[in-house]
Amino acid sequence: MKQKRIMTIQDLSCFGKCSLTVAHPIMSAMGLEVCPVPTAVLSTHTAGFTDWTFRDLGDDLPAIAEHWKSAGLTFDGVSTGYLGTEAMIGTVADYFQLFPEMVKIVDPVFADNGKLYPAFDMAYAKGVAGLCAKADVIVPNLTEAAFMLGEEYVSEGYDEAYIHALLKRLTGLGCRTAVVTGVRYDKAHQGAVAYDAKTGEYTQYFREHIDVSFHGTGDVFTSALAGAIVLGKSMADALRIAVDYTVDCIKATMPDVKEHWYGVKFEDCLPALIDAVRG
Ligand code: PXL
């Protein structure tokens, strides 16, 4: 069978287990050919560290796309994450236009727990909402959903009707499918809910809630989800594979929560992910 090829556009944080350093190995393990496009090089991620270095690679990205295009390369999918600058959002939109054959999966990656990440402002959030309009599938958490819709962040006490209506408003940004992560209808469970505006179908998958917070779990989830979608899995299977893998990674890291706060031990759980993908 022809190998599926995905490009992934996000930063390279040299230390911290997030963005490209998780997306590339996870999607490779799933059997995809992964083509990384680094938007920036940072010494670490920006959540919990201070004084990180940041080299913007924005000037290099248009030439990479043009070379790939002139070499006749095509891609089955693209997965985007932390982009870093407003200008980069426009560059990524150019990639979408240049390779229209790709399934476009956009994780907004600019906020969590009711707050914007340190490097971003409302203009960046608006820019990402514009990119979501050009995507096929978007993967915001509840904070990013609220910022992009210009609504109040609701952290708890919501029900299924609220999440379903929120998903409909998210697809109203212009994408076919929205997947919202970190959903908790009760204290014991956590999961993801998807809405396909074309079929009108909702899909969800929940596991037990684990009361610990690691950085980078959103990137782990979206990498597994994007890999599964581009491999042609149904949304039900993609959600199950991605949620189960994320929970596995959190559980594998729990014994070392103190020294491993910056990211999860996703490597230990790759064998189970490979088994899940092969079904
Ligand atoms: O995991 C999201 C992420 C990716 N890349 C960088 C980040 C963050 C979140 O803070 O700082 C550089």
pLDDT in tens, 184-235: 999 999 999 999 999 999 999 999 999 998 999 999 999 999 999 999 999 9
Per the domain annotation, does 277 fall within a domain?
no
Which residues are paired to 13 by β-bridges? 42
Please name the residue whose Cα sits nearest to atom 12 of ligand 1: 45
Q: In this structure, what token pair is assigned to residue 18? A: 């997030």
Atom of ligand 1 nearest to the CA of 215: 1
Best residue among 117, 181, 214 to mutate for probing ligand 1's pocket (most ligand atoms within 8 Å of CB) is 117
Distance, CA of 59 to chain centre: 23
Q: In angstroms, what is the span from residue 200 Cα to ligand 1's centroid?
A: 32
Return the pLDDT at 1: 84
User: What type of residue sits at position 74?
Assistant: T
CB atoms within 10 A of CB 272: 14
Residue 278: inside a domain, yes or no? no
E strand or H helix at 145, and its extent?
helix 142-149
Q: Nearest CA to 181 among 167, 191, 196?
A: 191
Probe ligand 1: pick from 9, 12, 13, max atoms within 8 Å of CB?
13
CB 30 within 8 A of CB 273: yes
Beta strand pairing status for 201-208 and 177-183? unpaired
Q: Tell me the mean pLDDT per 10 residues along the chain, length 279.
A: 96 98 98 98 94 96 98 98 96 98 98 94 97 98 98 97 98 98 97 98 98 94 98 98 98 94 97 96
* Domain contains 258: yes
Tokens of 56: 């913007």
The two three-digit tokens of residue 2, written as one number: 């022809």
CA of 228 to the centre of ligand 1 (A): 22
How many angstroms does the Cα of residue 219 sit away from the middle of ligand 1? 9
Supply the pLDDT for residue 119.
87
In a domain, 228, yes or no: yes
Give the count of domains, the chain.
1
CATH no. for residue 109?
Answer: 3.40.1190.20
Paired residues of 185 in beta bridges: none
Residues with CB under 6 A from ligand 1: 11, 13, 18-19, 42, 45-47, 82, 109, 117, 216, 218-219
Q: Which atom of ligand 1 is closest in space to residue 47's alpha carbon? A: 10
* Any domain includes 195: yes
Q: Which domain holds residue 42?
A: 5-272
H helices present in 80-121, as ranges: 86-98
Give the pLDDT of residue 200: 98
Is residue 279 included in any domain, yes or no?
A: no
Q: Using the mean position of ligand 1's atoms as its centre, give its distance from the Cα of residue 201 in Å.
A: 31
Q: Is 68 a domain residue? A: yes
Listed residue (166, 99, 158) closest to 134, CA to CA: 99
pLDDT of residue 118: 85
- Which residue spans within the chain are E strands per DSSP? 5-15, 33-44, 54-56, 77-80, 103-106, 111-112, 115-116, 137-138, 177-183, 189-196, 201-208
Question: What is the 110 CA–ligand 1 centroid distance (Å)?
Answer: 8
Judge whether 234 lies within some domain: yes
Determine which residue's CA is closest to atom 6 belonging to ligand 1: 45
